[in-house]
Structure 1
Amino acid sequence: MQIVRHSWLLVLLIASCKPAAVVEPDPYPLKVERNHLLFTAGDPQLKAIGVQPAREKDEVVLHLTGKLVWNEDVTTNVFSPLAGRVASIKGARGQKVAVGDELARITSPDFGQAQADAVKSETDLALAKRVLERTQDLFKQGVLPQKELDSADTAFRDAQSERDRAVERLAVWGGRGGDVNGSFALKAPMGGVIVDRNVQPGQEVRSDQMLAGMAVVAAPLFIISDPESLWVHLDVSEQDLSNLQVGQKLEIRSRAYGDQVFPGVLTVIGQSLNPETRTVVAKGTVANPKKLLKAQMYVDVNVITHVPKMPQVPIKAVFLREGKACVFVRKSESDFEMRQITTAAEDAGHVFVSKGLAAGEEVVSEGALVLESLLDANTSTANAGAEKAEH
């Protein structure tokens, strides 16, 4: 038993003689002073941190998608005023026309009836005039009483009114008295360019075509417009409405023409919200002198909004800390300060800063979250050390 006891003592003695583990010091210690992270020069973590200066700007660019349509102020849809059959077509797409130019010729029984009514009214008026003249002569000779003269005069006036009505009705459709052939010319009501045509020879047309419910049936026979001026329709979300004002400049781009910019102006902001898309329709005009843009094109639209001058930083440089926006500002090569800021409008991946940052200050744009985690870790370690020292 004595031998066993000495053996254990020997083991304990040998174990107690082993050297203690050596803790190597951190070659790049990191210090935290308030909201500052102080790196040691040469710390490899600095290579992962990217900075860029806060640039002062006074414009916000709102990026929207738009659709080009014909300018309704210089556009007319041409329908047939009467039912009939298309006999011939003179108007072609792309053709320039003036007011009154013939677009198509239509054979219509209704127009033929109007022609016949006009011819008959002229004949009836001539007959009523002869009867009146003969009655006046007989009345002067004392052969006929006043009552007969009054009756003849009334018949003449009625015939004259009917003639005027028939001629006026025919003139509305572009006709004049004369032959009864049932053929009338569908004419251009305004000058411009025929930008679309939806009619073929022999096609049946109706006077109520423009009132039909079906889109295909309701298509106008011709569309005349000025393609050098177009409208652009924009769907604007609720949060973007505050950045829109009538008169703002528009920069319009089409995929067909790369980065070429077509200038425009915002002219109308809708007064109602689409309940399904939660958007408001806005409208602008765009000049198209070379006729490169086409109706029904989808385009990218930048709306230029002027704001007070403020520094602007990348959105990825901003992070939330306790519900407040913050950034890291580089004070020197190894000193980074966490600073609370107040943000304003956003613009293409950047955000305006209305308070807490000056133009030209260098903001951490790459690695801000890494710095935040280092700040949290070192702050926790420092607090734990302070509590241990107190105890």
Structure 2
Amino acid sequence: MSWRTKQSRISANAGILLGGLLVSLALGCNDSRVEQPARKATTEQERIQPGCETGEPHQLTVPPEAQEGQTFQTAPVERRPFRDEIAATATIKPNEYRLAHLSPRIEGRVIDVKAVLGQHVKAGHVLALMDSIELGQKKSDFLQAKTNHEVDKRNYVREEGLYKEQITSEKEFLDAKGRYEKSLAAFRAAHEALRLIGLSEEDIKGIDWSTKGQPLSYFPLVSSLNGSVIERTITLGELITPKDKAFTIADLSTVWIILDVYEQNLAAVRKGAEVEITVDAFPGETFKGTIVYLSEVLNPTTRTIDARVETPNPQRRLRPGMFARAAVIIPGRDSDALVAPLAALQQVNNQTVAFVEKKPGTYEVRQVTVERRSPLYGEIQSGLHEGETVVTTGSFYLKSILLKEQIGGG
């Protein structure tokens, strides 16, 4: 083989090797350009989805200076009986069977107001003193009719005795009898007129021309039940009529809690079901009652019915007008479950997360799957283990730190 032929073959082989090397480099560059975004996306996904299985759980470290002014409270993840419940919003109202709107039975002017808002009163307690010209006239007519009746009665009895002894004539006897019956009718009419405006038999018997030095036109407005004055609409010197509501008295030893039960939950809600009530005014405290009434009519706007709960309120802590959260207990469906407080669960990028305390200031972010929920707890399907400690108060602050890290890392 000649030297020129050998040189040509060597040159061809070198060209093949050089071409292969260039192709390899090109493919390598293409691979790196394709794979690097995937690795970046994976890193961001781990940061957005804390606690996913593609990497180690994300940890947050809060330095002492960042904890100043913040309150952190924790609670254990535990296994406990978990009841099936139906959550509902509710409003507290007075017990309307123990509620009275008071107004006078006759027009009168207010001359003294004795009751104040919030005052506890008993049945018969004088709330206000009023002056009525019409009442004064009716009492005067009653006293006059009473006097005429008593005089005519005595005259009739005397004439009857004389007539039986044939001392007086029949005409005089019949005239006396007629006057007596006429005065009796007038007396009964005057008596009934007083009853119609609300005076009791005891009040009527006590009417006299000198009634404790007060004019006949004075009369008291009294409470009809034991309770508290929750509304007062009258002022001194005001002229009020039977159409005006002067006072509202409510017995708040029991209150009504009106639940909004959605249409889809009607099959599970029954009269007599136990209900637990929580209000913002008393966090961590539960008030209990039972459903005593279910409305027969569905609200077409909200698609709910009213369920009424009566609950004892001996210390008057539940106030009419308060908003409440209610949990209707579904009987016979209790089961043990792994639970965590709802206060420990936060939503981050449409995912539920919890912050597990490893040590004070260091928290591990866990993605959590929640199945059933009650007003205070959620049933944990995955993401947490029994005995771990999660942050409740302060979890929202940790969520804000996590979101800032995501924005900074993006």
Separation of aligned partners in 1, 2:147 and 2:159: 18
Counterpart of 2:230 (choices 152, 172, 195) is: 195
Matched, 1:234 2:264: no
> 1:105 matched to which residue of 2?
129
The structural deviation recorded for 1:55 is: 7.2
Q: Give ranges in structure 1 of 5+ residues lacking alignment.
A: 1-9, 27-42, 210-219, 315-343, 353-361, 367-391
CA offsets, 1:226-274, max 9 Å, x none? 2232111112111122232222222222222222222222221111112
Matched, 1:156 2:162: no
> 1:185 matched to which residue of 2?
220
> Secondary structure, in 3 states, of the residue corresponding to 1:45?
coil
The structural deviation recorded for 1:14 is: 4.4
CA offsets, 1:196-243, max 9 Å, x none? 32221112211123xxxxxxxxxx322222223211111211112223
Separation of aligned partners in 2, 1:349 and 1:193: 33
- How high is the TM-score relative to the length of structure 1? 0.62
> Secondary structure, in 3 states, of the residue corresponding to 1:256?
coil
Q: Give ranges in structure 2 of 5+ residues lacking alignment.
A: 1-11, 36-51, 58-76, 210-214, 340-370, 385-410
Q: Which runs of 4+ in 1 moved over 4 A?
A: 13-17, 19-24, 53-58, 309-314, 344-352, 362-366
Separation of aligned partners in 2, 1:270 and 1:169: 42
Pair 1:134–1:306, CA change in 2 (3 A)? closer
Separation of aligned partners in 2, 1:302 and 1:266: 11
> 1:338 matched to which residue of 2?
none
Separation of aligned partners in 1, 2:254 and 2:376: 33
> Secondary structure, in 3 states, of the residue corresponding to 2:297?
coil
- How high is the TM-score relative to the length of structure 2? 0.59
User: Is contact 1:58-1:307 (8 Å) kept?
Assistant: no
> Secondary structure, in 3 states, of the residue corresponding to 1:149?
helix
Letter in structure 2 aligned against 1:193:
S
Separation of aligned partners in 2, 1:136 and 1:309: 87
1:256-335 aligned within 5 A: 256-309=281-334
User: Is contact 2:120-2:228 (8 Å) kept?
Assistant: yes
Separation of aligned partners in 2, 1:91 and 1:286: 27
> 2:240 matched to which residue of 1?
205
Pair 1:275–1:99, CA change in 2 (3 A)? same
Alpha-carbon RMSD:
4.1
User: Is contact 2:233-2:246 (8 Å) kept?
Assistant: yes
1:28-47 aligned within 5 A: 45=54
Separation of aligned partners in 2, 1:243 and 1:56: 23
The structural deviation recorded for 1:190 is: 1.9
> 1:18 matched to which residue of 2?
20
> 1:173 matched to which residue of 2?
199
Pair 1:200–1:150, CA change in 2 (3 A)? same
Aligned positions, number? 294
Counterpart of 2:91 (choices 47, 52, 67) is: 67
User: Is contact 2:84-2:333 (8 Å) kept?
Assistant: no
Identity, in percent, stands at 23
User: Is contact 1:66-1:298 (8 Å) kept?
Assistant: yes
The structural deviation recorded for 1:75 is: 2.4
> Secondary structure, in 3 states, of the residue corresponding to 2:191?
helix
Letter in structure 1 aligned against 2:20:
K
Letter in structure 1 aligned against 2:235:
Q
Pair 1:44–1:169, CA change in 2 (3 A)? closer
CA offsets, 1:310-336, max 9 Å, x none? 68799xxxxxxxxxxxxxxxxxxxxxx
User: Is contact 1:59-1:304 (8 Å) kept?
Assistant: yes
> Secondary structure, in 3 states, of the residue corresponding to 1:239?
helix
> 1:225 matched to which residue of 2?
250
The structural deviation recorded for 1:88 is: 0.4
Separation of aligned partners in 1, 2:53 and 2:255: 58
Matched, 1:77 2:112: no
The structural deviation recorded for 1:280 is: 0.7
> Secondary structure, in 3 states, of the residue corresponding to 1:260?
coil
Letter in structure 2 aligned against 1:101:
H
> 1:384 matched to which residue of 2?
none
> 1:129 matched to which residue of 2?
153
Letter in structure 2 aligned against 1:121:
A
Separation of aligned partners in 2, 1:137 and 1:166: 29
The structural deviation recorded for 1:78 is: 1.4
The structural deviation recorded for 1:86 is: 0.6
CA offsets, 1:89-119, max 9 Å, x none? 1122233322222111111122112212211
User: Is contact 1:57-1:309 (8 Å) kept?
Assistant: yes
The structural deviation recorded for 1:295 is: 1.3
Separation of aligned partners in 1, 2:53 and 2:218: 91
Pair 1:301–1:350, CA change in 2 (3 A)? closer
User: Is contact 2:325-2:375 (8 Å) kept?
Assistant: no
Pair 1:112–1:346, CA change in 2 (3 A)? same
> Secondary structure, in 3 states, of the residue corresponding to 1:173?
coil
Letter in structure 2 aligned against 1:271:
E
Separation of aligned partners in 1, 2:376 and 2:144: 77
- Of 274-283 and 54-63, more deviation after overlay is shown by 54-63
Separation of aligned partners in 2, 1:301 and 1:106: 45
- Of 192-201 and 278-287, more deviation after overlay is shown by 192-201
> 2:111 matched to which residue of 1?
87
Separation of aligned partners in 1, 2:147 and 2:80: 85
> Secondary structure, in 3 states, of the residue corresponding to 1:257?
coil
Separation of aligned partners in 1, 2:139 and 2:78: 79
Separation of aligned partners in 1, 2:158 and 2:376: 94
User: Is contact 2:104-2:241 (8 Å) kept?
Assistant: yes
